[in-house]
Structure formats: structure tokens, C-alpha cells
Amino acid sequence: MGAYSGFMNTETMDGRWEELISIGRLMWERSLIAGTDGNLSLRIGPDRILATATGVPKGRMKADDLVVIDASGRRISGDRDASSEIRVHLAAYAVRPDISAVVHAHPPAALAMSLAGIEMEPPFIPESVLSLGPVARAEYRTPGSMELAGVLEENLRCHDAIMMERHGALTLGRSLEEAYNRMESLEHTAKTIWMARALGPVEPLPAPELHRLEDLARKAAPEHPRQRDPVCRRGLQDTGPEEISSLVRDVLARVRERS
Ligand SMILES: [Zn+2]
């Protein structure tokens, strides 16, 4: 009980910390992270985010290894600081009111494929379209930097799964379970494509079937920004930088003020 006293005194978390601890353990058990890699966060209120603290092995966390922060990254409760990588999570929450959880891991097969320059798009299997959605790719920037959060903003607005070059993956969800499932699905898909390529040439889904699956995905999630956000609908390449940047710029400016 003592391990939880800091949180119990300062913030009611309704047991949400248990979700982060159990998903952290699962990420480590499934080899999606090693050592102190990765981080998790969960939106628990309009301006409250429960996140993993910096330098903690995510497979063996206690409640004291978590921290509550506000939308600018200011610590509200907990004894430790959030990871510098939390900037990316804050950028995600700023542009995606529809999501409540962000998972960041270093999934080895997906990362190896990205290092080797092998794309997961266009998709090879239906599951990639139906549960994962298009996997975006973000250019390399130093992990934890403002620059990384900046280059990710376009991808965060329309995608639930993003590969960050030479670094790892980011998945978003309406719940922590959903965000984690996408991470697991991303790595599973990467392994499957890898094995298939070792056996012989592999073709992506034929275009007519891809369109059919995309239609099913649209009908299953009509509220998703990919369906509703004009920026996602008309394609990010047509988007002016002003339109897409303001929300993330605000968050990063507030984070910068505090660092
Ligand atoms: Zn990382």
C-alpha cells in the first residue's frame, strides 16, 4: 500500500495506474521493448495525463513509477519526471481529441524492416487495413526532441500507427488496450511480411480488394479523423503548414517555456 501513497494523497486515479502497469509488463513480455525503452500514457481527464516516469523498466513498474501531468507536461503528482519522449504524447493529445492513450515501443521486427527500407504500405494482409490503418513513416529526429514532436504532427493527426525512422513505433487508441493492440498488431504484421519475404516474392493486396477493405474500415469507424478531418480526407500533401501546425505549435511552445 505504501508504494501508492503519493498518488493516493494527491490525485484520484480510479485505479487507472493498473492499466499502465499491466500493459507495460505485456510490452516487455512480448519483446516490444527492452530495458527502460518505451513509454505509455493515458488521458484521465480534460487536462490530466497519467504517464510512465523516465528511466523506469516498463516491464516491472509500480504505481510510484507513474506521474500525472497536465497537457503542457507540468507535473501534477508523482515523485518522478515524465520521460522527455512525453512531448510526442502531448502533441498527439493536442491534435487528436478522439484518443485517450498513446503507446511508444521499439518493436524489433518493425524497426528492422524500417532500417532495411522495407515498407509496410501498401498493405499485404486485410488485418493491416481493418485494425491498424495505414502505417505512417516519420523522418528521423533525435528521440525526445522538440524537432521529433514537430515532424510527427502531420502523421499524428490522421494515423493511429507511425514508424519513427531508426527509433521505434507510436500507436494511438481510444483506450490503452486499443493503442497496445495496434502496437502488437504492427509487430505481428512486420514479422509475417518478413517471413513471407524470406520464402519468396510477396505482393501487396490487389487494388480493388484494398479499396473494398478500406470501405469496410470506413464504415466500422465513421468517427475517425481519417473519415471526418478535411486535412486527412484530402491528403496531407495538399495541406498548408499553417492549418496543420497551430495546435501542436501551441503545445510545444508551452512545453518549451517549461524546459
Ligand atoms: Zn523511444
**Residue list, CB under 5 A from ion ligand 1:** 143, 168
CA of 85 to the centre of ligand 1 (A): 7
CA of 239 to the centre of ligand 1 (A): 28
Q: Is the pLDDT of residue 217 over 90?
A: yes
CA of 187 to the centre of ligand 1 (A): 15
CA of 218 to the centre of ligand 1 (A): 31
d(CA 176, CA 172): 8
Domain segments of the chain: what residues? 2-258
| pLDDT (mean) for 205-232 | 91
d(CA 45, CA 16): 11
Mean pLDDT score across all residues of the chain: 87
Q: Is the pLDDT of residue 169 over 70?
A: yes
Question: According to the model, what pLDDT value does residue 253 have?
Answer: 73
How is residue 13 annotated by DSSP? -
d(CA 127, CA 123): 9
Residue 254: CB atoms within 10 A of its CB come to 16
CA of 189 to the centre of ligand 1 (A): 20
CA of 91 to the centre of ligand 1 (A): 15
| pLDDT (mean) for 163-191 | 96
| pLDDT (mean) for 169-196 | 96
d(CA 55, CA 83): 7
Question: pLDDT by residue (tens digit) across 20-48?
Answer: 999 999 999 999 999 999 999 999 999 99
CA of 167 to the centre of ligand 1 (A): 6
CA of 225 to the centre of ligand 1 (A): 25
Looking at domain 2-258, does it have CATH number 3.40.225.10? yes
pLDDT-derived band at 244, boundaries 50, 70, 90: very low
Q: Is the pLDDT of residue 234 over 90?
A: no
pLDDT-derived band at 246, boundaries 50, 70, 90: low
Match 527492452 to its residue by C-alpha cell: 34
